Amino acid sequence: MNNFSDNPRLTLVGAGPGDPELITLKGVRALQTADVVLYDALVHPDLLQHAPASAERVFVGKRRGRCEFAQADINHLIVQYAHSHGHVVRLKGGDPFVFGRGFEELAFAQDCGVAVDVVPGLSSSYAVPALAGIPLTCRGISESFWVLTGTTKDHQLSGDIGTAVQSTATLVVLMGMKHLPDIVAALTEQGRANVPVAVIQNGSWADERVALAPAHRVVETVENHKLTNPAIIVIGEVVRLHPDWHSETEVASGAAISSPLLISR
């Protein structure tokens, strides 16, 4: 191996929500030409088999909520490997540009003289609800959907939540489990304590679990069934379309309230 590559390059590849069959064909082809693969914790291990046997495989994700590498360290590793080895594939869960810090890595690499390509991936924000049987939009029920982070870089609840809960749009909250009680409080303040909520843990993986409950009971449901990250939160009337949503009573407005329910694969 040369000490310096004449063609340093980076390909940011979205691995999809977890199921290894949900990566794009273009993403697989990028992996097949990789000299180094830097991958995250949410990447299915089967995807690494697409890379040549000679390619280095470097884990740069989180384990048990602890970040092994700061983002600045990952940026420098990308550049270091690109200059020393050649083609670096940065394999990221979901889509690199949807709360994936992909643009930060792209900009740093380009500033350091590394050519960059981007291969989008299926974002968990829409793929996971679809796989669970929940459409984000449906005629007569939801005209739009919002994708939000529940937690800012300072680990606080996103200020956008307060605005979003006033909308009738379907809300998809990523990285929001820590602040689920705060999200429920914001919904309650808007008179939406009965809005249906789905919490989907390990979406698209073999151990996927889905909790269904009205907002005022979802925290209790999640705690009772010990749902944790990685999970997404889906809020809105479309959650009633989940095949296992069962109404047990009617509120004064005529809207059905479902009893809490947990579904496992």
Catalytic site positions: 40, 62, 175
Taking the C-alpha atoms of residue 113 and residue 8, their distance in angstroms, rounded to an integer, is 8
Taking the C-alpha atoms of residue 117 and residue 40, their distance in angstroms, rounded to an integer, is 18
Taking the C-alpha atoms of residue 171 and residue 232, their distance in angstroms, rounded to an integer, is 10
Q: Which helix (H) or strand (E) holds 93?
A: none
What is the residue-wise DSSP string for 167-208?
A: SSSEEEEES-GGGHHHHHHHHHHTT-TT-EEEEEESTTSTT-
CB proximity list for 45: less than 8 A, separation 6 or greater: none
Q: What is the DSSP letter of 157?
A: B
- β-pair partners for 151: 157
Distances (CA, A) of 196 to 43, 124, 138, 171: 30, 19, 15, 11
CA-closest candidate to residue 22, choices 128, 172, 149, 134: 128
